[in-house]
Chains A and B, each alone.
Chain A
């Protein structure tokens, strides 16, 4: 224990180690933030994206901070609801039928067109849904009939082909905002309106509407092709990556250590068998085995963790530890400990382990990012955990959907930056620990 505390104290003398610790600390902080603000079940649900949780979020939106760059002024999403209603009337027509009229207005001041437009109805009825007639009002006084339809399903304005044809072949979200007199297709800035005329056919029927004008930017991290806020995956990727990396590193280091210790300690055929298995295991390719397991058995991150640990029990590290163990085993103090009755267990853990700590600790720290990368690679290969939002899965989605071809650089940039920071942080701390524990390296 003391040796660890000393090591941490010494780390303070290495600026790179401090930087590494800050990175690791930030990642840990991020993990806690993620787990506290988005509980596990919530994160899973969000990432599965069922029940239209992302309905009002734009698709493939860039992060909001791109607007900080000069010359970029991408529209944000705005939602018009009952608060934006400027006039409203209700008129009973007899026979339980009512006619309502609502008008909502908003200011549009962007240089870019919105990405998409949808109208969501919030109607109550027993059998007959309300009927609506929608009119678009432009700042220059034109009135465009949008549609006449039943208010029982969202009206995806952008997908309305008839409307597109009517306004000159432009996509509705462009055509409705375009300046009709400009040479190029540019948005007309000013006050727009939506006139809703609705008929309610039942006594207790009511109707509310929400107009969502999807922007081109969203949140700190942007969104993906399924409208999911990437922030969920970026945040939740941290605790998953760290947990996975840590557990895998503990499993790999501890099991390698224990197997090497057992082989050296019991010698004879035990050692021979361990060496033999190790030699065979070393030539077994890890990745293809993982792919086979992922394809035919399970893609669960915990199954992968188990397989990785199982495969690395007999890894090349055995030979390194074996050589060191053999050297330590021959020390007279081990013989002395046996002479005064120390058990095998005590000798391995209290007499041999302390001599190995200097090698074990840096190796352990460096194994963490290796495992994080391995997990990300698996995800990119399509073997990511089916439920969990991870950095690797974001990268995989980005790759499959041609993010870079489409210019969605942020989609690739943020998760890879996080992965690289993780690697960098642990590597910097690991190298510093290596120097502290094995001072001879310092000269060379």
Chain B
């Protein structure tokens, strides 16, 4: 369906890395007293090279969006290290943080909500340019037309002066994508970019993102519920469970040979040959998703796990073991 990266074999340089990243939301009473914290991202590490995609899957509420926001600098990490483009992002001041943010594109889930309803497409696309003071007026105008053409909203005249509500969902999402690349970023964070779109336009949008990725050698962090598209869209995948990565590897390795009991339970319900049917986590595995306010002791999956090692799993949190080269699993079954 989609071409695999043309740059295969060339070892691209590391674009983005996170080490032991934690994002906690403090719950306060009357705005003053801490009464606990929601650990929405709790010790996540991964690397991403230029031109590559990492897909993050996980059930609702496991912290995927929070991870995306932390990468974008919209949430401040409580702990951990972020590196982007060879630069450490921790401890940047507000201004540096702003210019950092503008170098990462952001594609949101709800295209209509992502566009200010009172701005025209032109204004929406000019905003990042104006805010970051890139070039003169003429250049900005040219750039706006350029990105509209890139997301195939052509002829440009038909779209440039429209308000968001005058566009279809697919067109709105194209505007969102255009906005995400208008600053010529190297990394794009796409948080469930197709889950609110009509089934008929989902593939187009994914192909568009993939096409832009190849054209500009972008790193993409793709967050989804929907496993059916992952195999063709992405090189790497990380399965998130209760604010942590349960398993992380090449897409093929995980889909063909899942190791973590959670991933296994997830995929076992689906005929192996047809990953297109793997669309939801609703029924598997049975049990409640873990509370992030008071997570279960030890392995967060242990209340639902069929392979639980009593006395270990419910006491000690598993480390990330490298089961195979490039395939890490956070499960005591793979301890060495």
Contact = CB atoms under 8 A, between A and B. Distances in A.
Interface of A: 3, 267-273, 331-333, 335-343, 346, 351, 354-355
B108 A332 contact: yes
B118 A339 contact: no
Nearest to B99: A341
Interface in B49-85: 69, 72-74
Nearest to B185: A340
B14 to A, nearest CB: 22
Given A333-B115, A338-B74, A340-B127, A272 B101 contact: no
Contact of B113 (A3, A333, A343): A333
A354 B116 CA distance: 10
B106 interface: yes
B31 A269 contact: yes
A346 B113 contact: no
Contacts of B116: 333, 337, 351, 354
Contact of A339 (B28, B30, B74, B115): B74
At the interface, is chain B mostly helix, strand, loop or mixed? Answer: loop
A332 B68 CA distance: 13
A326 to B, nearest CB: 14
B104 interface: yes
B31 A272 contact: yes
Contact of B132 (A3, A273, A332, A341): A341
B74 A340 contact: no
A156 B204 CA distance: 100
Closest 5 CB pairs of A and B: A272-B31, A340-B128, A341-B98, A332-B113, A341-B102
Given A268-B28, A268-B31, 10 more contacts: A271-B31, A272-B32, A335-B106, A339-B74, A339-B104, A340-B102, A341-B99, A341-B131, A342-B131, A355-B118
A25 B114 CA distance: 42
A372 B104 CA distance: 52
Interface in B136-160: none
Interface residues of B, number: 30
Q: Specify which of B72, B102, B104, B118 lies most central, judged by the most chain A CB atoms within 10 Å of its CB.
A: B118
A346 B119 CA distance: 14
B195 to A, nearest CB: 13
21 contacts: A272-B31, A332-B113, A332-B114, A335-B74, A335-B108, A336-B106, A336-B108, A336-B114, A336-B176, A337-B127, A338-B74, A338-B101, A339-B72, A339-B102, A340-B106, A340-B127, A341-B102, A341-B128, A343-B98, A343-B131, A354-B116
B236 interface: no
A340 B31 contact: no
B179 A340 contact: yes
B32 A269 contact: yes
Contacts of B72: 339
A53 B298 CA distance: 95
Nearest to A269: B31
Q: Specify which of B31, B104, B110, B117 lies most central, judged by the most chain A CB atoms within 10 Å of its CB.
A: B31
B183 interface: yes
B64 to A, nearest CB: 15
B263 interface: no
A267 B132 contact: no
Nearest to B124: A333
Nearest to A334: B116
A272 B114 CA distance: 29
Nearest to B102: A341
Given A338-B101, A340-B102, A346 B131 contact: yes
A335 B116 CA distance: 11
B82 to A, nearest CB: 15
Q: Specify which of A333, A337, A351 lies most central, judged by the most chain B CB atoms within 10 Å of its CB.
A: A333
B28 A354 contact: no
Nearest to B189: A339
Nearest to A271: B31
Nearest to B118: A354
B109 to A, nearest CB: 7
Given A332-B113, A333-B115, A342 B32 contact: no
A148 B209 CA distance: 110
Contacts of A267: 31
Q: Specify which of A272, A332, A335 lies most central, judged by the most chain B CB atoms within 10 Å of its CB.
A: A332
Contact of B101 (A269, A340, A354): A340
Contacts of A342: 127, 131
B193 to A, nearest CB: 12
Contacts of B108: 332, 335-336
Nearest to B116: A333
A338 B98 CA distance: 8
A261 to B, nearest CB: 16
A191 to B, nearest CB: 78
Contacts of B102: 339-341
A331 B109 CA distance: 12
Nearest to A335: B74
A273 B31 CA distance: 9
Contacts of B30: 272
A346 B106 CA distance: 19
Contacts of A335: 69, 74, 106, 108
A339 B182 CA distance: 13
Nearest to B111: A332
A205 to B, nearest CB: 82
Contacts of A332: 108-110, 113-114
Contacts of B106: 335-336, 339-340
A340 B114 CA distance: 12
A341 B108 CA distance: 16
Nearest to A353: B118
Contacts of B74: 335, 338-339
A268 B33 CA distance: 10
A331 B28 CA distance: 22
Interface in B148-201: 176, 179, 183
Q: Specify which of A3, A271, A336, A338 lies most central, judged by the most chain B CB atoms within 10 Å of its CB.
A: A336
B36 to A, nearest CB: 15
Contacts of A269: 31-32
Contacts of B31: 267-273
A331 to B, nearest CB: 6
A337 B300 CA distance: 35
A271 B29 CA distance: 12
A340 B131 contact: yes
B32 A341 contact: no
Nearest to B72: A339
A361 B110 CA distance: 30
Contacts of A346: 131
Contacts of A354: 116, 118
Q: Specify which of B32, B104, B113, B179 lies most central, judged by the most chain A CB atoms within 10 Å of its CB.
A: B113
Contacts of B101: 338-341
Given A340-B102, A341-B98, A342-B127, A333 B114 contact: yes
